[in-house]
Amino acid sequence: MALNLADHVRMHVILVPFPAQGHFAAFLSLAARLHSALPSAAITLVSTPRNVVALRASSSSSSAAAVEAPFLRFHALPFVPEEHGLPAGAESADAVHVRHFLELFQSTESPSLQAAFDAFLADVCADDAAADEEEGAPVVVVVVADPFQAWTTAAARRRGAGHAFFDSCGAFGSMVYHSLWNHLPHRRAPGGEQPAEAFCLLDHPEVTVHRSQLPAHLLLADGTDPWSAFHRRQIALGYDTDAVLINTVEELEPAGLRMLRRTLGVPVLPIGPLIRLPTQHTSHRDGDSDSIMRWLDAREKLKLSVLYISFGSQNSLRPEQMMELAAALELTGRPFVWAIRPPVGFGDDNDTGTFAFGSDKWLPEGFEERVRANGTGLLVRGWAPQLSILAHASTGAFLSHCGWNSVLESVAHGVPIIGWPLQGDQFFNCEMLEREWGACVEVARGNAEGSPAVERARLAEVLETVMGDTAKGAEMRRRVKEIRELIGSSTRKNGGASSAEALKKLFTSMLHGTDAAPAFEC
């Protein structure tokens, strides 16, 4: 849907994602959405050398996992991982072990990286200014950055460019994250008592958070530790942006958006959902994807409902949790596709975060052989074609970590979610979807040493409730279909859909400068 804006004005959008697979995928989808809305705009994605090589290949690839973006330009900023305490070649979160995450986060705001970006932005603004004089067509330069790259606000201000954040998470989860790091409410207790297991957010007392929903580094944070320092720097710098774009839909998260707007005090524009269409899942299958689709086709012919299991590209369970999940799957006998990764703690001597498969220490003895022989289970090692699986008619539920991309992909395909959140905003995505929509059931929580215990009987009970012929399961399927219809309406080309309206406000404001800021709704 191309927006009807002034033909004599040109725009150059510079995208600055955080180096992690989910963030890259969201920014590639954002680039496609921006190009569709304003085909005349130049769009450049900035990252480090290895990431640029991978992203350039992905944007021009015909694979099912790629987001095709031949219009997209790239610029690589100089970056030497070893100078920041990272292993050689480690330039993204999926390329390092979790023990190096703090160094990775800190490296993305290093003075050398900021200086290189500032020089690049200065050149872009100078080149565009020269083109303005030569062609008589004003060029508006806008930096759209990840909230973890909040230092870009200062660079944009120095060079006279516009600035917006793109938050690839949901509104409710983003609001809770902001409040937790800004105020550390879990450390407060009346009268010197021990901190409570549950507490309210200081700026949103209607929201209750449980300590079991907090990662270890947040539980240990005291405001002076390195993680607190990093997050609080991003929060403080973030208030200087012009707007926040967020990958959600107004009708999906009205309460979360209302709270986030009150928290940030800047325009918050829902431009989601940034996901591919269900009809795209059948093209460009590779060999592994094709075998998975044939397996699902066979279950569809038998009218069997399949459970899809995935905890994301960077998450896994503890060995004992995987044992209980596998046992629960055998108890139910329901067919499943499990995108499996080695458990937490295996391969800890590997700095790159890559692991060797083949160990049966974290699955019941003979488990894989039994489910393969009786046709009830398929274990997929490494990447799985998630969109294809969720779009398949036989898929009846998704056991998920509730990462926001996975949440949107599941509900957009009308698949109910069984939530097992593990970290970050995942706990609050799960909570929102269960409390406000009834399209999710939380079955377990966390994968740390102190996480609540999970038993196979509880897992099997929830699987049967959601996937079986129960009133609860029927209601969840009805509610998730409502969300699918809602998401579909938000992306229609006509009819004043909320996502299209948000993009129109964004471009109108940027093309007219700060004088158009009141066009945003806070």
Residue with more model confidence, 513 or 197: 197
3-state secondary structure of 463: helix
Residue 200 lies in a domain: no
pLDDT at 50: 96
Q: What is the strand order of the sheet 162-167 is part of?
A: 73-76, 42-47, 10-16, 139-145, 162-167, 243-246, 268-270
Tens digit of each residue's pLDDT (9 = 90 or more) over 39-76: 888 999 999 999 999 999 876 654 444 455 688 999 99
Residue 426 lies in a domain: yes
Residue 497: pLDDT band with limits 50, 70, 90? low
Separation of alpha carbons 12 and 308, rounded Å:
41
Is 514's pLDDT higher than 50? no
Instruction: Give yes or no for a contact between 27 and 143, defined as CB atoms under 8 angstroms apart.
Output: no
Tens digit of each residue's pLDDT (9 = 90 or more) over 93-148: 988 888 899 999 999 999 999 999 999 999 999 876 666 566 656 688 999 999 99
Span 260-267, average pLDDT: 93
Instruction: Give yes or no for a contact between 247 and 409, defined as CB atoms under 8 angstroms apart.
Output: no
The H-or-E segment that residue 163 falls in is strand 162-167
Which of 403, 424, 405, 407 is CA-nearest to residue 209?
424
pLDDT at 332: 95
- Residues 138 and 79 both lie in one domain: yes
Looking at mean pLDDT, say which of 247-256, 340-349, 447-456 comes out highest: 247-256
- Residues 459 and 505 both lie in one domain: no
pLDDT at 263: 93
- Residues 364 and 303 both lie in one domain: yes
- State percent of the chain over pLDDT 90: 62
Instruction: Give yes or no for a contact between 334 and 466, defined as CB atoms under 8 angstroms apart.
Output: no
Residue 498: pLDDT band with limits 50, 70, 90? low
Residue with more model confidence, 136 or 428: 428
Residue 39 preceded by cis peptide, ω within 30: no
Residues in the chain: 522
CATH number at residue 377: 3.40.50.2000
Span 26-49, average pLDDT: 90
| Domain ranges, residue 142 | 11-170+238-276+493-510
pLDDT at 283: 38
Residue 130 lies in a domain: yes
pLDDT at 97: 82
Is 407's pLDDT higher than 70? yes
- Residues 163 and 298 both lie in one domain: no
Is 358's pLDDT higher than 80? no
Residue 503 lies in a domain: yes
Span 270-290, average pLDDT: 62
3-state secondary structure of 410: helix
Residue 190 lies in a domain: no
- Residues 151 and 246 both lie in one domain: yes
pLDDT at 67: 52
pLDDT at 254: 94
- Residues 244 and 376 both lie in one domain: no
Span 241-259, average pLDDT: 93
- Residues 455 and 501 both lie in one domain: no
User: Encoding tokens for residue 485?
Assistant: 């219809």
Is 386's pLDDT higher than 60? yes
pLDDT at 453: 77
- Residues 146 and 268 both lie in one domain: yes
Residue 171: pLDDT band with limits 50, 70, 90? very high
Average pLDDT, the chain: 85
- Residues 350 and 372 both lie in one domain: yes
Residue 3 lies in a domain: no
- Residues 498 and 350 both lie in one domain: no
Span 464-485, average pLDDT: 95
- Residues 269 and 308 both lie in one domain: no
Residue 202 lies in a domain: no
pLDDT at 500: 64
pLDDT at 63: 47
Residue 76 lies in a domain: yes
- Residues 95 and 51 both lie in one domain: yes
Number of domains in the chain: 2
Question: Following DSSP, what letter does each residue of 336-397 receive, concatenated?
Answer: EEEEE-PPTTTTTT-TT--------TTS-TTHHHHHHHTT-EEEEES---HHHHHHSTTEEE
Going from the C-alpha of 94 to that of each of 18, 23, 60, 147, 293, the distances in angstroms are 12, 11, 21, 19, 26
User: Encoding tokens for residue 144?
Assistant: 């759209």
